[in-house]
Amino acid sequence: MASDLDTLRAELEDRRDRARETIAGLAKTPERGTAQGFGKRIGDGTVEAISRLTEIGVGTSLEAGLERTERALVKLDEGTYGVCDVCGEPIAERRLAAMPDVVTCVDCASGQPRVRPPSRRQ
Ligand SMILES: [Zn+2]
C-alpha cells in the first residue's frame, strides 16, 4: 500500500508542477524568452502570474486546480488523503481514481451545506 501512495505522490507532484508551468506560461508575454526578467523564482512568480490571470478571468480554475493538488499532497503527508476536507467522511474510491487530487467528497463538492445539521434527516 505504501508504494501505491508513493506512486500517487509522484503523480500529484507531476500534476502540480505542470499546473505551475501552465500558469507561468500563460502569464508570460507573447515574446517569450527575450522579455522581462522578473526574478523567476517559482513561488513569487507563480503568485504574481496567478493574480494577473485571475484579473483577466482565466486563472481562476487553474489556480483552484493547483491549490487542490497542493492540498492533496499535504493530505498525503498528514495521512488524511482520501478523507473529505469539509465533512471528514471518506471520499469514494471511484472518485479518487477519477480525480487523484480531489479533497472533498461528492456531496460537499456539489454544494451541499458545509456542516450537515445532525437533526435534519427525514
Ligand atoms: Zn464531504
**pLDDT tens for each residue of 17-69:** 999 999 888 877 665 444 445 555 555 666 666 666 556 565 678 888 999 99
Contact call for residues 39 and 73 (beta carbons, < 8 A): no
Q: Record the cell numbers describing residue 110, joined without a space.
A: 456539489
- CA–centroid distance, 115 to ligand 1, in Å, is 9
Mean of the pLDDT values across residues 103-108?
A: 94
Residue 97: per-residue pLDDT: 92
State the CB neighbour count (10 A cutoff) for residue 55. Answer: 9
Domain residue limits, the chain: 2-70, 82-122
- CA–centroid distance, 121 to ligand 1, in Å, is 16
| Chain-centre distance for alpha carbon 44 | 18
- Beta-carbon contacts of 114 under 8 Å, excluding residues fewer than 6 positions away, are 86, 87, 108
- Beta-carbon contacts of 62 under 8 Å, excluding residues fewer than 6 positions away, are 19, 22, 23, 26, 50, 53
- CA–centroid distance, 109 to ligand 1, in Å, is 7
- CA–centroid distance, 84 to ligand 1, in Å, is 5
Residue 27: per-residue pLDDT: 79
- What confidence tier does 106 reach under pLDDT thresholds 50, 70, 90? very high
Residue 10: per-residue pLDDT: 96
Residue 84: per-residue pLDDT: 96
Of 40-54, 65-79, 107-121, where does mean pLDDT reach its minimum?
Answer: 40-54
